[in-house]
Amino acid sequence: MFRITPIENGICAVEGIYASGVNAGFKKDGFDLGFIRSDKEMDIVYLFTTNKFQAAPIKYVLLKNIKKTNFILANSKNANALTGEDGIKDIVEILEFLSTKIHVKNPLMSSTGVIGVRLDKEKIKKGIEKFDFNEKNSNKFAKAIMTTDSFPKVVAFEVEGEFGKFRIGGVAKGAGMINPAMATMLCFITTDANIPENEMKEILSEINEVTFNAISVDGDTSTNDSVFLMTTRSADYEKEAFREALKKVMQKLALDIVRDGEGATKAVAFVVSGAKDKNEAKIVAKNLTNSLLVKTALFGEDPNWGRIASTVGASGVECYEKRLKIAFENVVVYDRGKIIFDRETERKAHEIMKRKEFKIYVDLGIGDGEFTAYGCDLSYDYVKINAEYRT
């Protein structure tokens, strides 16, 4: 048995971890350059984008095969992607400069923003000069990595049980280019739990599948997606407790990303059950989060269940009209071949769709495959934000 309690201070809730952000001149105002730093060297594991054109900061980590670090430098407004060897050289130069300011061990960078533009090294160096390395301010760091995000995404828990106690905190960014095959996002998680080395990556991957890999804003997979898990190993550990706490951290941040989806007015969970297997359930759930016709119907608060059915049918999985069931929360609109959609049902479903968050249930009535994916609606503002991104 264990108890998970929400606490303040995000990634800095862990002892000996510092973080902050400054304005380095990329954004007109607001933070755009941040750091996470640890007194002790931390063990670090990571999951990176499946995009073949991995950004330079990702290439750098893989090249150096970094497994322990005490410093992460992060910037927004420039992804340092598609920048070739120059992109990596820029990172080396910046991190060398950093090492003249503070003792760093295997420092690494993490970037997000426009693709295909060289980093402005001078601005970043000037930003580094502004750092107060002893600040413990997760919020400033969270803001420094925001792009089109409208709010900083921060969370922390203390976990206590018979095994003792540990803390875990996380910060994430992401609002657009969010895709089921790993969202366009950065996520940094710190803990002091003394996780066995071989379990770090295993648990991170497992939880990632049902959190960041289950959300979608627009179905695009970026060049920079990264999730980092770091531990100082200075506290206790119990596998189940850690798994549960990590899931709470990642679920909260993943849902925050959907809630903050570019232009989104609502966050919707597509709960798919009764599929042949889990994989087919996942295909259906993710297709539903990505269908433009479903997303625009959500925006219009129109219980157009035909579009949901059509998307299920188009997804290529095993399904039959006579077994399919669709419901908006507890309002069933189609039940195994029967259309249950009179004026009253439509009104009820429409009322549910006015909520900020709700669930749509799709049961295929075949096997016991289940998966829940999280998506949002597609509004005028999504188009506005993305049509005007660079201007």
Q: How far is the CB of 251 from a second copy (least distance, A)?
A: 24
Q: Are 2 and 159 in contact (CB under 8 A)?
A: yes
Q: How far is the CB of 130 from a second copy (least distance, A)?
A: 28
What are the backbone angles phi and psi of residue 328, rounded to the nearest 5°? Answer: -95, 110
Residue 184 bears catalytic tag: yes
Interface pick for a second copy out of 112, 179, 226, 273 (rule CB under 8 A) = 179
Q: Does 1 bind a second copy (CB under 8 A)?
A: no
- C-beta closer to a second copy: residue 106 or 386: 386
Interface pick for a second copy out of 129, 205, 339, 368 (rule CB under 8 A) = 339
Q: Does 107 bind a second copy (CB under 8 A)?
A: no
In this structure, what token pair is assigned to residue 121?
């090294």
Interface pick for a second copy out of 66, 102, 115, 352 (rule CB under 8 A) = 115
Question: Catalytic: which of 147, 184, 289, 311?
Answer: 184
In this structure, what token pair is assigned to residue 282?
């996942």
Beta bridge partners of 17: 38
156-169 burial code (b ≥16 CB/10 A, e <16): bbbbbeebebbbbb
Q: Would you call 11 helix, strand, or coil by DSSP?
A: helix
- Rounded CA-CA distance 232/269 in Å is 35
Beta bridge partners of 154: 171
2-6 vs 186-193, strand pairing mode: unpaired
In this structure, what token pair is assigned to residue 120?
């402005």
Question: Please, which residues have CB within 8 angstroms of residue 89's CB and are 6 or more apart in sequence?
Answer: none
Q: Does 345 bind a second copy (CB under 8 A)?
A: no
Binding mask 202-231 for a second copy (x = CB under 8 A): ----------------xxxxxx--------
Answer positive or negative: Cα dihedral of 257, 262, 267, 270: negative
Q: How far is the CB of 215 from a second copy (least distance, A)?
A: 15
Interface pick for a second copy out of 291, 325, 349, 374 (rule CB under 8 A) = 291
CA angle centred on 204, ends 201 and 205, rounded to 5° = 85
Q: How far is the CB of 285 from a second copy (least distance, A)?
A: 16
- C-beta closer to a second copy: residue 282 or 307: 307
- Rounded CA-CA distance 301/286 in Å is 20
Task: Point out which span in 65-73, 158-166, 176-184, 273-281 binds a second copy (CB under 8 A).
Answer: 176-184
Residues 62-91 that bind a second copy (CB under 8 A): 79, 81-84
Task: List residues near a second copy by CB under 8 A.
Answer: 50-54, 79, 81-84, 114-118, 176-177, 179, 181, 218-223, 290-293, 296-297, 299-300, 302, 304-307, 309-314, 316-322, 324, 334, 337-339, 341, 378-380, 382-384, 386-391
Instruction: Give me the active site residues, please.
Output: 184
